[in-house]
Amino acid sequence: MSRTIAIANQKGGVGKTTTAANLGAALGEGGSTVLLVDLDPRADLSGYLGITLPAGATSVYDALFDESVDMSDVILERAWPGLEVAPATIDLAGAEMVMMDRPADERHVVVADALKSLQKRYDYVIMDSPPGLQLLSIAALVAANEVLVPQQCSFLALHGLRQLTDSVERIRAELNPALRICGIVMTMQDRRTVHNRQVIEMVREGFGELVMDTVIPTTIRVQEAAAAGEPITTYDPSGPAAVAYRELAKEVIARA
């Protein structure tokens, strides 16, 4: 059965895009078919996977708002096994305005509607969302069955976590009863610091089983891979971050 997973956290810079790209690559490497959908106007996920489209190029924006464009028209294949990408451009910055003009019951389902015909084609549809809880992020959570929450191992980043789980509750109650939290994955761990360990302990105490066993370590190789436009699983296949993302993929599979 196909699973549609939104990667979300209201807090910025916690590893959402990195997790979307590398979890997608790890699932693809393991034999799953994966569609990565870029729902961030900064198009970081697209850029991460080596796709840089100019404003105006056919992209997710058109699939969401132009009735003559289907999501399947904008999908690009990638060289990595199992992985396809629906890329964004800066045009997506206009999404909020377009959505505001729509009746409330229509604006929340734009992503769900655009993905409907596609979900059966993939084992996993993974959406990267921007920070903050904008209409686009809400629409991603309405389209999803599950949300995976990357959480940076730092006290400062913890603030958004309870907000996010509260938002998920509200969206479940009002807009998408099928939505559940797949898990919280702790990212950018520096094993040398006590601070990091304490944060992980606090999150485990507060959120229990929701927290994934896998913790993604900090390594400069992740940033190098992003700069090279390549998943960590091929850029540094035996390095600690690639190993961790493969473990995360196994956990996600097990939490079906």
Ligand X SMILES: Nc1ncnc2c1ncn2[C@@H]1O[C@H](COP(=O)(O)OP(=O)(O)OP(=O)(O)O)[C@@H](O)[C@H]1O
Judged by the rule CB under 6 A, the positions of this chain that interact with ligand X are 12-18, 40, 44, 130-131, 187-188, 216, 218-219, 222-223, 226, 241
Q: Which of Mg ion, ligand X, none sits in contact with 119, Cβ below 5 to 8 A by type?
A: none
Q: Which residues pair with 186 in a beta bridge?
A: 151, 215
Distance, in Å, from the CA atom of 106 to the CA atom of 44, rounded to the nearest integer, reads 27
Which stretches within the chain are classed as H helix?
16-29, 44-48, 60-65, 71-74, 95-100, 104-107, 110-115, 135-143, 159-174, 194-207, 220-228, 232-235, 240-254
Q: Which is nearer to ligand X, 142 or 225 (CB)?
A: 225
Q: Which is nearer to ligand X, 119 or 196 (CB)?
A: 196
Calculate the alpha carbon distances from 31 to 113, 221, 240 in Å: 27, 24, 21
How many CB atoms lie under 10 A from the CB of residue 165? 16
Q: Which is nearer to Mg ion, 17 or 151 (CB)?
A: 17
Q: Which of Mg ion, ligand X, none sits in contact with 237, Cβ below 5 to 8 A by type?
A: none
- Interacting residue ranges for Mg ion, rule: CB under 5 A: 16-17, 44
Q: Which of Mg ion, ligand X, none sits in contact with 241, Cβ below 5 to 8 A by type?
A: ligand X
Q: Provide the minimum distance between the beta carbon of 245 and ligand X in the complex, in angstroms, as a whole number.
A: 9
Q: Which of Mg ion, ligand X, none sits in contact with 132, Cβ below 5 to 8 A by type?
A: none
